[in-house]
C-alpha cells in the first residue's frame, strides 16, 4: 500500500453543495476534481437515496456549481462556465428525465445566488455589474455580443474597500435579477435544442450591493441591501421586500448586522436571518433571529446554544416550518442542529462526528457533505432528527484503497492559565512506538475559525504523516466552537500571547512522548496561522524550521491594504493613526531581528485579504538580519491558494513545505531547500533552477461516474 503524496491532489475528488430533491428520493451534488495543472472540472451528479450509484448529470465542460431542484423536481438549474471564453458563469437548466441542458442567461456579470420561485416561472439571481453595464443593458443580455471589459487605465479608487477575492471591483456592484422562464413552454420543449434564453429583469439599482435573494411567495422577493451609511465601514444590512407585480420595492422589512443576511422565509410570513452584534463584531458569535412580521416579535432560536452560526450553510426551515436547521462549529466537529423557530426549546444536535461542510433539508431527510479522518468528503443523508444516517457516495474509494491513511488521536491538555485545549496527534502510517520521529505543528487561520480531523486540511495532515512526521494541531483560544468567551480571548489586541501559550502547551504535551524527538520540531500555518508561526519564531528558538503562509506580519500596513480592516478595529480596538506603536508591538515583524529559525515565506500575488506587502517586508527584514529564508510567490493566486488554487500550485506549495522541513531534520537525509534547486518539486520551478525530481511520482489523473441527464 502506498503512502499519501503531494501529487495525489490531482486524484482527490471533492464533493460540494448537496441538494435534496423535492420528493426526497435523490440528492444532487457537485463533483470537483483537477482537470490538469491549471484548472478544475466540476460537474453535477445525482445519487438516489436508496443506495444506487451516483450518475453524472451534466457534461464535462467548464465548471458547474449551485445545483438547484425546481419545486416540482422536473428540472435542475445550475450555474456553469461551459462555452464561455471569459469564465463568466451563466444560468443553465437541465430536465431530470433526460435531455440536454439549455443556457438561460447571457449576462455580462455572470450569475450567482440562484433561487427558483415557488411557481417555477422565474429564477432570481445576483450578478456583479458596473453602472455602464446597467446603462447599456449588458446586464440583462449580451445578445451574442463578444464583450470583454477593459481594465481601467488609470484605476481611480474612491471606496474604502475596492478589491477582494483576487479582483478589483472597478465600479461593480451586486444587483438582484429575475429571469422569466415561462414554465409551461420550458417544459413543453422537453430539453430539445433551441433558443431557450429567458427575459432577464433587473430589480435593483444604485451604487450599493444587494445580496441573498429569497422568495417569500411567487411574486414577492426578499433580499439584503448594504446601503446604510458607508457599507465599506459597517456591517448593516437592510432586508428589503420587492413586489414583482408592482415592479418596485414595497418596504424595508427590517435591519440586521452581520456578514450576510442568510434569509429563510416561511410561508406564513416569518423570516429567519443571521445577526451578529456590530460592536466588536469579530469577537461576537452569530445568532439566528426570527421576525414574526405580523406581530413584530423577534425570537432567537440559538440563544441557548453557545456556538456561532457557520456561513457554510444558510439556516433552513424544516418541512413543517416549525424547526430551523443550521450549522455550527462544535468542539472539533461541524454539526447540524435544529431549533424551534419560536425558541420554546433549546437547539438539539442532529448530525456531527466529522466536518460537515454544507447541508440541505428535504421533506424527510437532511443531506450533507461530511469529511472524516479516513476520507476527504462524501455525501450523506440522515433522518430529520438524526436518528439514522447513511453514506451515499464513496467518490475516493479507488484512491483510498491504495493509500495508507493514519487515524488521529484526540487529546485534551491544559494551558498555563488552566484552560482546557483540544488538539490531535497524527502518527506516520508505519508508526513504531520504539522509534523516534520529528514533530510538525500546524496552526489554523482566522483567528476565529476551528479545525477538525479532516476538511480542507485532510490531505496536508496525511501528507506530513506519510513523510515521517508526527503531526500536531489544535484549536487554541480565539477559535470558534468552544463558546463566545473562548473565541473572544484574543480581544484587546491579544493575538499573540494567548494562542502562543496554548500552542506551546500542546507542543510540550506531545513532545514529552518517547517517540517524539523534542529537538526536531517544526511549525507552519496560514493567514492568522502565519501570524502565529512568525510570532512563535520571534519568541522562541525551539523550532528547527518554520513555513509561514499568507500571514499577517505588520498590523499597521495590513490595516491599510486589506479588505478586512475592521478586523483590526474590532480585535485590537485600535487604528494605525491613534495606536501605531501598540499595533507595531503586536506585529511579528517587530521581533524579526530576534529570529534564528530558518523560515520559508509563502504568499500569493493576488491575495487581497492579506496583501503580499506583508510578506515582502518580513522577508527583507529576515534577510537583513541573517535569517535563512526564502520568499515564494504564486502568480494568479489569492488567499485561498491552499484550498482552491491552480492544482499545480497546490501541489507545489505542499512539496515546498515538506522540502523545507526535511532539509533541517535529523531524520531525513536531504539537503536544505536553499541548496536543492528544483529537486523535490514535481513541477520544476524556474525560480530556482536545477533538475526535476524523480523521487515523487506524478499521480494519475482520473475521473469516475457514469453519464446521465445530458
Cα separation, 46 vs 52, in Å, equals 10
Cβ-defined contacts of 691-694 (< 8 Å, 24+):
none
Please give the grid coordinates belonging to residue 476: 487554541
Distances (CA, A) of 443 to 317, 373, 457, 694: 36, 18, 11, 31
Question: 518 lies in a domain?
Answer: yes
Report pTM.
Answer: 0.93
In angstroms, the CA 173 to CA 159 distance is 12
pLDDT at 703 over 50: no
By CB neighbour count within 10 A (0-12 exposed, 13-18 middle, 19+ buried), where does 602 fall?
buried
User: What is the arithmetic mean of pLDDT over 507-526?
Assistant: 98
> Does 697 have pLDDT greater than 60?
no
Report if residue 478 sits inside a domain: yes
| 317 located within any domain | no
Average pLDDT over residues 550-563: 97
CA separation for the pair 476, 478 (Å, rounded): 6
DSSP state letters, 446-475: SSS----SSGGGHHHHHHHHHTT-EEEEE-
CA–CA distance, 276 with 662 (Å, rounded to integer): 44
Q: Which band of pLDDT confidence, cut at 50, 70 and 90, is reported for residue 14?
A: very high
Cis status of the peptide bond prior to 154, with omega within 30 of 0: yes
CA 273/CA 291 separation, integer angstroms = 8
23 inside domain: no
Which residue's C-alpha cell is 506519510? 466
Judge whether 297 lies within some domain.
no
Asked if residue 421 is part of any domain, the answer here is: yes
- Please check whether residue 68 is in contact with residue 162, taking contact to mean a CB–CB distance below 8 angstroms: no
Candidates 509, 511, 531; CA nearest to 519 is 511
Residue 296's contacts (CB-CB under 8 Å, 6 or more residues apart) are none
Cis peptide before 447 (omega within 30 of 0): yes
Indicate if the pLDDT at residue 111 is higher than 50: yes
User: For residue 591, is the peptide bond before it cis, meaning its omega torsion is within 30 degrees of 0?
Assistant: no
In this structure, what C-alpha cell is assigned to residue 406? 493514519
CA distance 178 to 457: 38
Residue-wise pLDDT for 343-374, tens only, equals: 999 999 999 889 999 999 999 999 999 999 99
Q: What is the band of 147 on the pLDDT scale with cuts at 50, 70, 90?
A: confident
Residues with catalytic function: 527, 639
N-term to C-term CA, the chain: 37
**CB count in 10 Å sphere of residue 455:** 20
CATH number at residue 490: 3.40.50.1820
CA 221-209-255 angle, 5° bins: 65
Whether 698 has a pLDDT exceeding 60, the answer reads: no
Q: Which residues contact 293 (CB under 8 A, 6 or more apart)?
A: 253, 269, 270, 271
Q: What is the pLDDT of residue 691?
A: 37
Q: What's the pLDDT score for residue 197?
A: 81
Q: How confident is the model at residue 458 (pLDDT cuts 50, 70, 90)?
A: very high
Element (H, E) at 337: strand 333-340
At residue 184, the pLDDT reads: 39
Distance separating alpha carbons of residues 507 and 373, to the nearest angstrom: 21
Q: Is 638 left (phi over 0), alpha (psi -120 to 50) or beta?
A: beta
Nearest C-alpha neighbor of 200 from the set 246, 146, 280, 138: 138
Position 435 pLDDT exceeds 90: yes
Instruction: List C-alpha distances in Å: 497 to 151, 320, 486, 529.
Output: 44, 48, 14, 13
Q: Would you state the pLDDT for residue 196?
A: 67
What pLDDT digit, counting tens, does each position of 258-271 carry?
A: 999 999 999 999 99
Count other C-beta atoms under 10 Å from residue 277's C-beta.
Answer: 14
The per-residue pLDDT for range 45-69, each reduced to its tens digit, is: 999 998 789 999 999 999 999 999 9
pLDDT per residue over 635-681, tens digit each?
A: 999 999 999 999 999 999 999 999 999 999 999 999 999 999 888 89
Which helix (H) or strand (E) segment holds residue 647: the answer is helix 647-664
Give kind and range of the element (H or E) at residue 18: strand 14-20
Q: How far apart are CA 462 and CA 483, in angstroms?
A: 29
CA distance 598 to 617: 17
Q: Is the pLDDT confidence value at 596 over 60? A: yes
What domain range is 556 assigned to?
406-644
What is the rounded average pLDDT of the residues 279-299? 96
β-strands 545-549, 599-604: how paired?
Answer: parallel
Report residue 688's pLDDT band, with 50, 70 and 90 as the boundaries.
very low
pLDDT in tens, 382-403: 999 999 999 999 999 999 999 9
Beta bridge partners of 272: 264, 290
> Above 70 in pLDDT, residue 162?
yes
Q: Would you call 327 helix, strand, or coil by DSSP? A: strand
- Residue 457 half-sphere exposure toward CB, CA atoms < 13 A: 25
Given this model, what pLDDT does residue 700 score?
Answer: 27
> Cα separation of 636 and 648, whole Å?
12
Among candidate residues 330, 396, 334, 406, the one with its CA nearest the CA of residue 370 = 334
What's the pLDDT tens digit per position in 173-224? 999 999 999 743 444 444 433 446 889 999 999 999 999 999 999 999 999 9
CB 534 within 8 A of CB 523: no
Is the predicted pLDDT of residue 707 greater than 50, yes or no?
no
Dump pLDDT digits (tens) for 599-618.
999 999 999 999 999 999 99
Residue-averaged pLDDT of the chain: 92
Give the pLDDT band of residue 581 (cuts 50, 70, 90): very high
- Please report the pLDDT score of residue 84 as a whole number: 73
Domain-located, residue 419: yes
Statement: residue 708 has pLDDT above 60:
no
Reported as a pLDDT band with limits 50, 70 and 90, residue 470 is very high
Q: How many domains does the chain have?
A: 1
Q: Which band of pLDDT confidence, cut at 50, 70 and 90, is reported for residue 684?
A: low
The number of residues making up the chain comes to 710
**Parallel, antiparallel or unpaired: strands 90-95 and 355-361:** unpaired
Confidence of residue 523 (pLDDT cuts 50, 70, 90): very high
pLDDT beyond 90 at 98: no
- Within a domain: 667: no
What percentage of residues in the chain have a pLDDT greater than 90? 89
Amino acid at each position: 500500500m502506498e503512502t499519501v503524496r503531494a501529487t495525489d491532489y490531482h486524484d482527490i475528488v471533492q464533493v460540494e453543495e448537496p441538494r435534496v430533491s423535492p420528493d426526497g428520493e435523490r440528492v444532487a451534488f457537485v463533483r470537483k476534481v483537477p482537470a490538469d495543472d491549471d484548472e478544475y472540472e466540476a460537474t453535477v451528479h445525482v445519487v438516489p437515496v436508496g443506495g444506487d450509484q451516483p450518475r453524472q448529470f451534466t457534461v464535462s465542460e467548464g465548471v458547474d456549481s449551485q445545483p438547484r431542484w425546481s419545486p416540482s423536481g422536473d428540472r435542475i438549474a445550475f450555474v456553469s462556465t461551459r462555452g464561455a471564453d471569459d469564465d463568466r458563469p451563466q444560468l443553465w437548466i437541465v430536465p431530470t428525465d433526460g435531455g440536454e441542458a439549455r443556457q438561460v442567461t447571457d449576462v455580462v456579470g455572470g450569475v450567482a445566488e440562484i433561487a427558483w420561485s415557488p411557481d417555477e416561472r422565474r429564477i432570481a439571481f445576483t450578478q456583479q455589474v458596473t453602472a455602464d453595464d446597467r446603462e447599456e443593458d449588458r446586464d440583462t443580455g449580451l445578445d451574442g455580443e463578444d464583450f470583454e471589459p477593459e481594465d481601467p487605465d488609470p484605476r481611480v479608487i474612491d471606496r474604502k474597500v475596492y478589491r477582494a477575492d483576487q479582483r478589483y471591483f472597478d465600479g461593480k456592484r451586486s444587483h438582484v435579477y429575475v429571469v422569466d422562464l415561462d414554465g409551461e413552454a420550458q417544459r413543453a420543449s422537453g430539453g430539445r435544442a433551441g433558443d431557450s434564453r429567458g427575459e432577464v429583469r433587473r430589480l435593483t439599482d444604485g451604487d450599493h450591493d444587494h445580496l441573498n435573494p429569497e422568495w417569500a411567495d411567487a411574486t414577492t422577493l426578499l433580499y439584503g441591501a448594504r446601503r446604510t451609511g458607508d457599507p465599506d465601514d459597517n456591517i448593516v444590512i437592510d432586508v428589503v421586500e420587492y413586489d414583482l407585480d408592482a415592479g418596485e420595492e414595497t418596504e424595508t422589512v427590517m435591519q440586521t448586522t452581520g456578514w450576510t443576511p442568510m434569509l429563510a422565509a416561511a410561508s406564513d410570513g416569518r423570516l429567519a436571518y443571521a445577526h451578529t452584534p456590530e460592536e466588536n463584531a469579530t469577537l461576537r458569535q452569530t445568532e439566528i433571529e426570527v421576525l414574526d412580521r405580523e406581530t413584530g416579535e423577534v425570537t432567537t432560536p440559538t440563544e441557548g446554544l453557545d456556538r456561532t452560526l457557520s456561513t457554510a450553510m444558510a439556516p433552513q426551515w424544516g418541512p413543517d416550518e416549525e424547526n430551523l436547521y443550521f450549522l455550527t462549529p462544535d468542539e472539533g466537529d461541524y454539526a447540524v442542529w435544529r431549533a424551534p423557530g419560536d425558541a420554546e426549546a433549546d437547539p438539539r444536535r442532529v448530525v456531527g462526528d466529522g466536518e460537515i461542510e454544507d447541508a440541505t433539508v428535504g421533506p424527510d431527510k437532511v443531506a450533507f457533505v461530511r469529511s472524516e479522518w479516513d476520507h476527504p468528503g462524501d455525501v450523506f443523508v440522515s433522518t430529520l432528527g438524526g436518528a439514522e444516517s447513511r453514506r451515499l457516495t464513496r467518490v475516493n474509494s479507488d484512491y483510498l484503497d491504495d493509500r495508507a491513511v493514519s487515524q488521529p488521536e484526540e487529546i485534551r491538555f491544559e494551558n498555563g492559565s488552566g484552560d482546557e485545549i483540544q488538539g490531535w496527534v497524527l502518527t506516520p502510517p508505519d508508526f513504531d512506538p520504539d522509534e523516534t520521529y520529528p514533530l510538525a505543528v500546524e496552526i489554523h487561520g482566522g483567528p476565529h475559525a476551528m479545525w477538525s480531523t479532516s476538511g480542507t486540511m485532510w490531505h496536508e495532515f496525511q501528507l506530513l504523516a506519510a513523510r515521517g512526521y508526527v503531526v500536531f494541531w489544535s484549536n487554541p483560544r480565539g477559535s470558534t466552537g468552544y463558546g463566545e468567551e473562548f473565541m473572544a480571548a484574543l480581544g484587546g489586541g491579544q493575538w499573540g500571547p494567548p494562542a502562543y501559550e496554548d500552542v506551546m502547551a500542546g507542543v510540550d504535551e506531545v513532545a514529552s512522548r518517547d517517540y517524539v524527538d523534542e529537538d526536531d520540531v517544526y511549525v507552519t500555518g496560514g493567514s492568522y496561522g502565519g501570524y502565529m508561526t512568525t510570532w512563535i519564531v520571534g519568541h522562541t528558538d525551539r523550532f528547527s524550521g518554520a513555513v509561514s503562509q499568507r500571514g499577517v506580519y505588520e498590523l499597521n500596513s495590513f490595516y491599510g491594504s486589506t479588505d478586512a480592516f475592521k478586523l483590526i478595529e474590532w480585535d485590537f480596538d485600535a487604528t494605525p493613526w491613534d495606536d501605531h506603536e501598540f499595533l507595531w508591538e503586536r506585529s511579528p515583524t517587530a521581533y524579526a531581528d530576534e529570529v534564528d529559525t530558518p523560515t520559508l515565506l509563502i504568499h500569493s500575488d493576488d491575495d487581497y485579504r492579506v496583501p503580499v506587502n506583508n510578506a515582502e517586508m518580513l522577508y527583507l527584514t529576515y534577510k537583513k538580519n541573517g535569517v535563512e529564508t526564502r520568499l515564494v510567490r504564486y502568480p494568479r493566486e489569492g488567499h485561498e491558494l491552499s484550498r482552491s488554487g491552480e492544482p499545480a500550485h497546490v501541489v507545489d506549495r505542499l512539496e515546498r513545505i515538506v522540502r523545507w522541513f526535511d532539509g533541517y531534520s535529523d531524520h531525513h537525509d536531504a539537503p536544505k531547500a536553499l541548496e536543492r534547486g528544483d529537486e523535490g518539486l514535481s513541477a520544476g520551478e524556474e525560480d530556482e533552477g536545477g533538475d526535476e525530481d524523480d523521487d515523487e511520482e506524478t499521480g494519475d489523473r482520473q475521473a469516475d461516474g457514469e453519464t446521465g441527464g445530458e
